[in-house]
A = this chain, B = another copy of it.
Amino acid sequence: MFSQEILKGTIKPIIIKLISDNGRMYGYQITQRVRELTAGSITLTEGALYPALHKLVADGVLNVETEWTGNRERKYYSLSKGGAKAAAAKLEEVGESIGVLAELFGLRPPACGGR
Report yes or no: A41 in contact with B1, Cβ–Cβ below 8 A.
Answer: no
Report yes or no: A98 in contact with B95, Cβ–Cβ below 8 A.
Answer: no
Across the interface, A100 reaches (CB within 8 A) one of B41, B100, B113, namely B41
Report yes or no: B14 in contact with A3, Cβ–Cβ below 8 A.
Answer: no
Report yes or no: A6 in contact with B10, Cβ–Cβ below 8 A.
Answer: yes
Q: For A37, give the chain B residue with the smallest CB separation.
A: B104
Report yes or no: A93 in contact with B1, Cβ–Cβ below 8 A.
Answer: yes
The answer to the question of A96 belonging to the interface, with a C-beta cut-off of 8 Å to chain B, is yes
Report yes or no: B9 in contact with A104, Cβ–Cβ below 8 A.
Answer: no
Most buried by B among A3, A9, A100: A3
Report yes or no: A100 in contact with B38, Cβ–Cβ below 8 A.
Answer: yes
Residues 55-80 of chain A, each 1 if its beta carbon lies under 8 Å from chain B, else 0: 00000000000000000000000000
